[in-house]
Structure 1
Amino acid sequence: MRSLIAFPCAGETLVGTLDAAPGRTGLLIVSGGNEIRCGAHRGMALLAAHVAAAGYPAFRYDRRGIGDSTGENNGYVSARDDLVAAATAFRAQAPQLMTILAYGNCDAASTLALYGRTAGIDRLLLANPWTIEDTDDLPPAAAIRATYRQRLTSPAAWARLLAGKIDFTKAIDGLRKASRTMPQPLATQMVTAIEGWGDAATVILATGDATAQAYRAAARHLPAQSIETASHSFAREEDQRQLRAAVLAALAGAGI
């Protein structure tokens, strides 16, 4: 059964959705960016329904200033109180819970890595963690390098170059950025936070996604699962199937 839940957070009112199930391990879904709790392409709503059908309760919510929740949206770094309030509400609505696994994509993964312990969350499933603090309009350096490696082996890319269909100014800017090694304090902070969770955190990366490539470049020493897709939100049917399988495996493992 699916129900709407309103709960307090720092003087504001957050709205969440509970997909009820009897399991003692539950899934807390945290939305990334400025997405509402149903997720891109309704992906999080569909994931919650799938998880509940397998016997695990699932809870997702809009943080302050997003969707149905009141207040001001100050981004993922300011979402600690929202996460704490959501985890508290989840436990109140599903009192049988012994373990909470939290899932987040992009900067929601970063929120969880930073504040999950404060919220009393037991385990994390982090997709494409956000580690980028670039101020230009180019992709992350790691993504640029991956793109050029692919293009160097692509006959179609060479044909476009010889036909004059390549923007040389943009290409040169990209090469300059790809060749620079700049300090990335945010990446260091996020990788350190994820590393601190040890085996309690699992990372999933969309192999063709720029955000995932930037994380992989910053965290080569940490294990990660891969889904072969360029979709940041795992939008394709096969992406969704693999993501659901990973979530269910994590939930089964979290209850051990």
Structure 2
Amino acid sequence: MSRRHVTFQCQGEQLVGTIDGEDAAVGLLIVSGGNEIRSGAFGGQAALAARLAELGFAVMRFDRRGIGDSEGQNSGFRGSAEDIRAAQGEFRRQCPSLTRIVAFGNCDAASALMLMGGEGFDHLILSNPWIFEDEADDAAPPPPDAIRARYAQRLRDPKQVLRLFTGKVNAASLKSGIKAALSRSEGPSELLTQMQRAMRDSAVPHTFLAADNDRTGRAFASAWAEDEAPVRRCEGASHAYVEDHAREWLDEQILGILLG
């Protein structure tokens, strides 16, 4: 397995990326979420790239402007479309035999890909898309629809029902959760509306993934209309899919699309 570093330009600023694997017909461009550097949470994206490269795919990761090794000002995910386009162009230059490029983004990286309609990609893998207006509001409670869906899921689990009837559920937390679940939903955020509009105008095939133990993933799965595209959910998975079974599940989802 080979790994090499590349530099390229985005609106006059130098960006740094990493490419795993030799030249291939199919490649995966990983877009980092939040303010994470290209290696990802706990090095998860670097490890994913290595695994896929061993299977014969080319994988590119990069730091957008103002993050990690890249120059410039960090404009957040809403201002990252040009960075993604620049990385896509460099990927094609570095791997000229590419005939198909799939993009993968988790959290607001998925949102960024949706806002640009997946321009230039052959498929989008969109994991736990961020739908909240406040980019820093990761401690806010999930919307009522997501809370109701979570309670419905727990009531279908015999172990959770047993905990409830044996008094092993914190009464204060249960009361707070029920109150939140019964509250009125505020409707879709403006960000979600923009993402829906962009995807409806896009012809790029896309697949949604959600980690079931992640509030961001649950909120998206609850808010997104299933008739627009179903959401594939991984039970017991946290936001970055760090659990063994979740990592294997994520690999299977991505590999299936790369081979498709």
Q: TM-score, normalised by structure 1?
A: 0.87
The percent identity for this pair of structures is: 42
Aligned equivalent of 2:56: 55
Matches within 5 A, 1:166-205: 166=172, 170-171=176-177, 174-175=180-181, 177=183, 179-197=184-202, 200-205=205-210
> Distance between the aligned counterparts of 1:17 and 1:204, measured in 2?
24
> Distance between the aligned counterparts of 2:254 and 2:7, measured in 1?
26
Matches within 5 A, 1:68-83: 68-83=69-84
Find 2:225's aligned residue among 213, 219, 225. Answer: 219
**Is the contact between residue 132 and residue 214 of structure 1 (CA under 8 Å) also seen in structure 2?**
no
Find 1:246's aligned residue among 239, 242, 253. Answer: 253
Compute the RMSD of aligned alpha carbons.
2.4
Q: TM-score, normalised by structure 2?
A: 0.85
Q: What is the total number of aligned residue pairs between the two structures?
A: 249
Any idea what SS the aligned residue of 1:104 has? strand
Aligned equivalent of 1:138: 141
Q: 1:58 to 1:150 in 2, by over 3 A?
A: closer
Superposed structure 1 runs of 4+ greater than 6 Å apart: none
Q: 1:137 to 1:68 in 2, by over 3 A?
A: same
Q: Which amino acid aligns with 1:129?
A: P
Aligned equivalent of 1:229: 236
Task: Give unmatched runs, 5+ long, in structure 1.
Answer: none
> Distance between the aligned counterparts of 2:249 and 2:203, measured in 1?
23
> Distance between the aligned counterparts of 1:66 and 1:203, measured in 2?
26
**Is the contact between residue 145 and residue 185 of structure 2 (CA under 8 Å) also seen in structure 1?**
no
> Distance between the aligned counterparts of 1:67 and 1:24, measured in 2?
29
Could you tell which deviates more after superposition, 45-54 or 128-137? 128-137
**Is the contact between residue 38 and residue 44 of structure 1 (CA under 8 Å) also seen in structure 2?**
yes
Q: 1:150 to 1:126 in 2, by over 3 A?
A: closer
> Distance between the aligned counterparts of 2:225 and 2:79, measured in 1?
24
Superposition deviation, residue 22 in structure 1: 3.3
> Distance between the aligned counterparts of 2:143 and 2:74, measured in 1?
25
> Distance between the aligned counterparts of 2:181 and 2:241, measured in 1?
28
Aligned equivalent of 2:29: 28
Task: Give unmatched runs, 5+ long, in structure 2.
Answer: none
Q: 1:9 to 1:175 in 2, by over 3 A?
A: same
> Distance between the aligned counterparts of 2:106 and 2:146, measured in 1?
18
> Distance between the aligned counterparts of 1:41 and 1:55, measured in 2?
24
> Distance between the aligned counterparts of 1:148 and 1:225, measured in 2?
19
